[in-house]
Amino acid sequence: MSEWQKVCSTGDIPLGEWHQSDVDGTTVVIYNVDGEFFAIEDVCTHDGAILSGCPLEGDEVVCPRHGARFSVKTGEALSAPAWEATATFPIKIENDEIWVQDLRWD
């Protein structure tokens, strides 16, 4: 069973910003949406572009390569040319530290 992994503190991610981290060999990006934190895999399911580094538009991120939109809350692909969701990861916050777990292979 995969373990929770500490990735950063809440203060490291201002409102509307993001933090990229490696979680069990997967590149994960954590977003701060109005004070709530969400973690998705840092990859566009259309053709593998990196999603981090693009500004949030509400709770959506736009792929820099061909413009697909993803919900950072659900990972859902919201527009073409991406059709598959990017992975999401559970988050817990303890003492202002953000922890992420990858349960996909358990």
Nearest alpha-carbon partner for 67 in 87, 85, 46, 42: 46
Q: CB under 6 A: which stretch of 10-18, 22-30, 60-68, 90-98 binds ligand FES?
A: 60-68
Find out whether 60 and 75 touch, Cβ atoms under 8 Å.
Answer: no
Element containing residue 52 per DSSP (H, E): none
In terms of DSSP bridges, do strands 5-9 and 56-57 run parallel, antiparallel, or are they unpaired? unpaired
Q: 44, 72, 77, 100: which one contacts ligand FES (CB under 6 A)?
A: 44
Binding residue (CB under 6 A) for ligand FES from 7, 61, 63, 77: 63
Compute the C-alpha angle 74/29/42, nearest 5°: 80
CB distance 2 to 28 below 8 Å: no
Query: Stretches 4-12, 52-60, 64-72, 87-95: which one binds ligand FES (CB under 6 A)?
Result: 64-72
Stretch that binds ligand FES, among 1-9, 25-33, 44-52, 91-99 (CB under 6 A): 44-52
Contact with ligand FES (CB under 6 A): which of 7, 82, 98, 100? Answer: 82
Which residues of this chain interact with ligand FES, rule CB under 6 A?
44, 46-47, 49, 63, 65-68, 81-82
